[in-house]
Structure 1
Amino acid sequence: MSLKTVTTTLAALGALFIIYVGLSYVLTPQTTAPGFGLPTWPAGDGGGFLILKGIRDIVSGLVLGILLVTRQRRALGWVLVMESLTAFGDMTTVLAHHGSALVAFSVHGLTATLVLLTGLLTLRETREVTTARVPALR
């Protein structure tokens, strides 16, 4: 199996998964949010932030999907590297707010690592090898 096949599969699965997560936050935030790892439920109008999180996740997945469909592999690699920061930020947020360390590391930390690895592998797969031009002898 080629590296391109592996990275394409991982990126496509990641895009579909994060869209699914986003839709879950938009459609059923009350059942999805407890799995995020934070210790308390948002109070008052705070529940609206769960919808925002869902929209953020959906858009993140759509960006990956567009880059896959348009075959912008180099850009896909860089976007994956940058999107790994979202999962890393989620992990640090859960830890900073005394949430579940197990969820922080096993869900968000693992996601950040997998997305980063996929991005780096995609960048490796797409790097261009340049050769020096040698002038022709006459």
Structure 2
Amino acid sequence: MKTEKAMAQWGWRSVSYWMAMFIALGILFIGVRFVLFPQISLEDFGIQPSNYADITLGRIKGIRDMFSGLALLALLLGRMKKATACVFTAAIIIPATDCLLVYGHNGMDLPRMLVHGFTAIYMVITSFLLISNTNKTTA
């Protein structure tokens, strides 16, 4: 029962909670932006759209980003630390592979690669905080 009490206290006063919330809200915003403005969003992502199919794929990416943000928000608002930690840690693959995709498409486009790379590093740090000290409410 001690673990359940500690888990129930994880939330608004936790650094890891707000770090994960930042990513959840950020990816939700990015998803909405991809749906509404796919050409601009794709260019900012690091991919130059060349035809209407690329624009459609940008919107598809946006819908998936919106789902990811909403799913993470649901876990955060439910204060489910272990589930948040598992999903968040698995999601590190997204910015890491995005970085590789930008590299494969554009070569060494350092500014865009750094955005994806730093996001992956931020998520690794957040995951570490979420996973460690599961009995503490300040992690």
Same fold (TM over 0.5): yes
Cα root mean square deviation, aligned? 2.1
Where do residues 89-108 of structure 1 align in structure 2 (5 Å cutoff)? 89-99=97-107, 100-104=109-113, 106-108=114-116
> Residue 64 of structure 2 is aligned with which of 24, 43, 56?
56
Q: Tell me the amino acid that sits aligned with residue 45 of structure 2.
A: F
Q: Deviations over 1:23-54 (max 9, x none)?
A: 0000111222211112x314242211001110
Match of 2:25 among 16, 21, 24: 16
The answer for the alignment partner of 1:37 in structure 2 is 46
1: distance between equivalents of 2:50 and 2:19? 33
Q: 5+ residue gaps in structure 2? A: 1-9
Output the CA distance in 2 between the equivalents of 1:117 and 1:126: 15
Q: What is the one-letter code of the residue matched to 1:14?
A: I
Separation in 1, partners of 2:64, 2:117: 18
SS of aligned partner of 1:35? helix
Aligned-pair identity (%): 31
- TM-score where L is the length of structure 2: 0.81
Q: Name the CA distance, whole Å, in 2 between partners of 1:86 and 1:71.
A: 23
Query: C-alpha distance in 2, partners of 1:42/1:79?
Result: 33
Structure 2 counterparts to residues 57-72 of structure 1, below 5 A:
57-72=65-80
Larger Rg: 1
**The residue matched to 1:90 in structure 2 has which SS?**
helix
Deviant stretches of 4+, over 4 Å? none
Q: Is the 8 A contact 2:46 2:106 kept in 1?
A: no
* 2:37 alignment counterpart: 28
Q: Which residue of 2 aligns with 1:87?
A: 95
> Residue 85 of structure 2 corresponds to which residue in structure 1?
77
